[in-house]
Structure 1
């Protein structure tokens, strides 16, 4: 079989979620609606945080960054999927595919890092409330986000450099609706470079997933211990309400990610795994703005003030 590892003319074939032609209009409408909700909902969060002085705090600074990353995260995969459904075309060039892998890794990693930083922020706020403003300074907040970006850029760049050294069959089929690192390594021609890519993938999984989860679990374990030492039930409720939205998002994000992993391990079906992965690539970014707005009185208050200003300006 002919092999090719150059970017340019050569292409992969993205098999998508379904081959049923009658289902394509429904999928297009569904995913377009969800994508618009992701963009509009997260843009609203960014607007509220930037325009309302009551939300100029570390927690909402990290939340606005999370909203920005969620928009970019879904924009990495969904527009291409919508274009393929509309055009009835499954082709994606090597260059487009590797670019998609690169940015998907960046924004997936940033989601993990930001959720971890937000958990640390809640840990400081609840466990060390008197030192909160001295610890969570604007300088530290910016440095935490900047360090996360630098780290994930470097890791993703190394992955792409090694991935581009692999050899693939012309018109290799990828049983997914986007180019995923693990699947690309799986369909590559097996040689020593594939082993190197697999090792790096495991190392980056520890760095980008296991370490953040460990940090989140540690932060919340300390929060639980602090709550147990509080004598007032009102104080416990107030303290827990400050991290309820974040805990809900963390549970959904890692719960669906674990569900994707378990479904692929149990069914061994890449198609079923790709359907399950819609949850953390699209559904969770769509739900985040609703979770933070419906469960957070500060965000609801900022939304009310924004609507009042808009109404008074008419």
Structure 2
């Protein structure tokens, strides 16, 4: 089938409005590369990153759950962030590693929908969770005396439920409009990506995708800007409160509690906005793959590193747990 350009990958028949809708049996994921040698190298690299991602995030979940000193609102949110990173990276990377190790890169329609539903749900939930974490930092710095009263278990539960519910709603709406309302001209369409990405599916559709793009842009835009607005307003108040602290040491101590979160927010939102809030005319499959690798693989790997390396409580807790496990191993070895 002829395509109008390598940028859009839309069939020429679609641009003229002349096409026959075909019932799709399965999709073919083009993947990162077709070079067999490069596939082996990428498999080794990404497998190593995935194992480290699981180890780091799972370690944070266990550490925060076990250590009572970390049973605070901030670490409660951090535990859920690590859980989301595990789920999000697994949704993408397990399938990607399978395709890198195999010549068969076909994916069923149901499998494609499930992957799309999962990564959108977890990704959007993480957006709202990062906003909730910024509110937590605002209360901790601007209202320290009433912090525990404001950030009660009920408040934390409401923020978590809202985050997960927002992710679920976005996932069902965007998945529904990206597949059930798209027309394809082949039984086995090629997706120019390494996973079932919404934009990649829209680009290979034969029909009019203006409604789909509008829905995608609206929901992605609302999610991004509403959560980002909460973050910006929270940090505006935080900066004002920090500047009012007279001692430089006090300002440094107050602001140090926010640096890890700020780093994660900057990396996460910068990548998401560049990826999903661009016009379709500016979309490039190869560029989309590179951005997606950073968004789906690198960020879940970096998040636990950022929080653990810059957090004294987490490092202290990890050292204590390590010493405790080492003592138990030694006792077991002796007996």
Q: For this structure pair, what is the TM-score category when the shorter chain's length is used for normalisation?
A: over 0.9
Q: After TM superposition, what 4+ stretches of structure 1 lie above 4 angstroms from structure 2?
A: 258-268
Q: Which residue of 2 aligns with 1:167?
A: 183
Q: Which residue of 1 aligns with 2:333?
A: none
Q: Secondary structure at the match of 1:13?
A: strand
Larger Rg belongs to? 2
Residues 164-243 of structure 1: pairs in structure 2 closer than 5 A: 164-169=180-185, 170-191=187-208, 194-243=209-258
- Which has the higher mean CA deviation after the structures are superposed, 121-130 or 150-159? 150-159
CA distance in 2, matches of 1:286, 1:263: 25
Q: Which residue of 1 aligns with 2:151?
A: 136
- Which has the higher mean CA deviation after the structures are superposed, 158-167 or 146-155? 158-167
List gaps (5 residues or longer) in structure 2.
Answer: 1-18, 330-335
Match of 1:45 among 57, 60, 64: 60
Kept in 1, the 8 Å contact 2:224–2:273? The answer is no
Q: Which residue of 2 aligns with 1:103?
A: 118
- Which has the higher mean CA deviation after the structures are superposed, 146-155 or 302-311? 146-155
CA distance in 1, matches of 2:137, 2:258: 6
Kept in 2, the 8 Å contact 1:264–1:273? The answer is no
List gaps (5 residues or longer) in structure 1.
Answer: none
TM-score between the two structures when normalised by the length of structure 2: 0.87
Kept in 1, the 8 Å contact 2:181–2:212? The answer is no
CA distance in 2, matches of 1:42, 1:164: 34
Q: CA deviation at 1:288?
A: 1.0
Q: CA deviation at 1:214?
A: 1.3
Q: Which residue of 1 aligns with 2:263?
A: 248
Kept in 1, the 8 Å contact 2:217–2:276? The answer is no
* Distance verdict in 2 for CA 1:142–1:261, change over 3 Å: closer
Q: CA deviation at 1:119?
A: 0.6
Kept in 2, the 8 Å contact 1:5–1:164? The answer is no
Q: CA deviation at 1:286?
A: 0.3
Tell me the matched-pair count.
Answer: 309
TM-score between the two structures when normalised by the length of structure 1: 0.93
Q: Which residue of 2 aligns with 1:81?
A: 96
Kept in 2, the 8 Å contact 1:13–1:90? The answer is yes
- Which has the higher mean CA deviation after the structures are superposed, 182-191 or 65-74? 182-191
Q: CA deviation at 1:186?
A: 2.4
CA distance in 1, matches of 2:279, 2:35: 22
Kept in 1, the 8 Å contact 2:124–2:170? The answer is no
